[in-house]
A and B are shown apart, each in its own frame.
Chain A
Amino acid sequence: GAGVSQSPSNKVTEKGKDVELRCDPISGHTALYWYRQSLGQGLEFLIYFQGNSAPDKSGLPSDRFSAERTGGSVSTLTIQRTQQEDSAVYLCASSPPSALAKNIQYFGAGTRLSVL
């Protein structure tokens, strides 16, 4: 498809389990972002990948959260030992490399995570 694809769209898990969320960015986009959106809140930045540079992990809330981006394309966000406060919508966005357009983010529809 032409847009940012996230899977699964919904994930229900039990407290203490690990989950993996996937993001497939738009082909050719070098930048990739993960955000968390809790009910009634704005977007909380989690992590940023830009090309082959080291990712900016400054937004990860704890060491239970990690992310990787393989081959400069698909990214996986992993949450270990999930807690109920991890319940949120996780959004992925990508940006193209061109100077004029690189500030524009294209968002996926998100993964709604529910931790029981």
Chain B
Amino acid sequence: AQSVTQLDSHVSVSEGTPVLLRCNYSSSYSPSLFWYVQHPNKGLQLLLKYTSAATLVKGINGFEAEFKKSETSFHLTKPSAHMSDAAEYFCVVRGDPWGGSYIPTFGRGTSLIVHP
């Protein structure tokens, strides 16, 4: 079984300040973890993924995330927010396919609001 919890439904930051979107997961198997972004009226776009290589993963648009197995966390960060970062962000866990968990599990999403 697998699950993912996004700890904040909304995060509000000022432009130019750091961004932290929190995600905790549980998985019976070695997980693959992803962050996707969804801008209004658009489909989801992959930001970054972790698949058991380096624990610090760099993605597009200056985002990065760190896999911490001891804390079962995969928080998304960015040093300096831009107005264009305002969107909905989804943390996703996918279990070991050999365990039968082909289906990804999505968090409920975190809405990032960026103030000028």
Contact = CB atoms under 8 A, between A and B. Distances in A.
Contacts of B41: 109
A45 B107 CA distance: 12
Interface string A68-111: 00000000000000000000000101000000000111111110
Contacts, number: 51
B113 to A, nearest CB: 15
Contacts of B94: 103
Contacts of B43: 4, 91, 93, 107-110
A1 interface: no
B103 A104 contact: no
B32 A103 contact: yes
Nearest to B105: A45
Given A42-B90, A48-B103, A104 B109 contact: no
Contact of B104 (A50, A58, A91, A105): A105
Contacts of A91: 43-44
B45 A43 contact: no
Interface in B48-100: 49, 51, 90, 94
B100 to A, nearest CB: 10
Contacts of B49: 103-104
Given A103-B49, A105-B46, A45 B103 contact: yes
Interface of A: 4, 33, 35, 41-43, 45, 48, 50, 56, 58-59, 91, 93, 103-110
